[in-house]
Amino acid sequence: MKNYVSASVLSADMLELKKEIKKLEISGIDMLHFDVMDGSFVDNITFGLPVLQQVRKATDMKLDVHLMINDPLRYASAFADYGADMISFHIESSSDTLATIRKIKEKGVKASVALKPATSAEEVFEFLPYLDMVLVMTVEPGFGGQDFLHGTLDKISVLRKKINELGLDIDIEVDGGINAETSVLVKRAGANVLVSGSYLFGAADMAAAADIIREDLPC
């Protein structure tokens, strides 16, 4: 499968967001990862619909929205209308999972279910035929700059094996603590969409850093 890099704007300079987005574009970043946190599902509050609307106006990049909110079913249509190309929501949220997937897909947007580190791969199996992507959190959701949780690697392998067994074409996205070292581990386990915040935005050469985490593993 082709690998993609999705840059988490949680690590961007928000007062210079337009410039930061241009930097992502010229660095060849594949997608912009937009982390929405409601201060209830996770212990942090970030940004929401009005910011997404402005970001949509500023770029043609794919917008990869990650909803860390209690009731994604209530807001999924709005995030689609405001410009999301794909929406991930948490299976641990209070919304009905299948109804939320349907709500996203009826808007013509790619649907993805996200799993916290403690949630097993098996929880998402019944939904795989309806999904475009599964997001495996490789840190506890809520904050950028955390250390990668190695215990999540088995979950990625189990998921990729199941997706292959079912003959489905589903991306596995990973989010949290992705850098030059951990990107190798997650790709080996079966992930192909790599979210990175602090590593990419902290790099002296963002394009080179993105190439490192995107590159195919040697056969």
Ligand X SMILES: O=C(CO)[C@H](O)[C@H](O)COP(=O)(O)O
Instruction: Pick the binder of ligand X from 63, 178, 194, 210 (CB under 6 A).
Output: 178
Is residue 88 at the binding interface for ligand X, with CB under 6 A as the rule? no
Q: List alpha helices for the chain, DSSP H.
A: 17-26, 49-58, 72-81, 97-105, 153-166, 180-189, 198-201, 206-214
Residues numbered 45-74 forming contacts with ligand X, rule: CB under 6 A: 66
Distance of CA 72 to the CA centre of its chain: 15
CA distance 36 to 34: 6
Whole-angstrom Cα distance, residue 196 to residue 176? 7
Q: Given candidates 5, 11, 69, 121, which one binds ligand X under the rule CB under 6 A?
A: 11
Interface pick for ligand X out of 65, 86, 136, 139 (rule CB under 6 A)? 139
Burial group, residue 98, by CB count within 10 angstroms (0-12, 13-18, 19+): exposed
The residues near 13 (Cβ < 8 Å, ≥ 6 apart) are 19, 20
Give me the least distance between CB of 183 and ligand X, in Å please.
Answer: 11
In which element (H, E) is residue 114 found?
strand 110-115
**36: contact with ligand X by CB under 6 A:** no
Q: Which single residue is written with the structure tokens 């299976």?
A: 91
Looking at beta carbons only, is 102 or 212 nearer to ligand X?
212
Annotation says 96 is catalytic: no
Q: Which of 35, 38, 64, 132 is catalytic?
A: 35
Least separation, in Å, of the C-beta of 164 and ligand X?
A: 26
Q: Is 13 a catalytic residue?
A: no
Examine residue 35 and tell whether it contacts ligand X (CB under 6 A).
yes
Closer by beta carbon to ligand X, 89 or else 199:
199
Tell me the three state secondary structure of residue 135. strand
Q: Which is nearer to ligand X, 80 or 203 (CB)?
A: 203
In the complex, minimum distance from the CB of residue 179 to ligand X, in angstroms, rounded to a whole number:
8
- Per-residue string for binding with ligand X, 195-214, x by CB under 6 A? xxxxx---------------
- Residue 142's nearest CA partner among 44, 71, 66, 47 is 44
Binding site for ligand X (CB under 6 A): 8, 10-11, 33, 35, 66, 139, 141-146, 175-178, 195-199
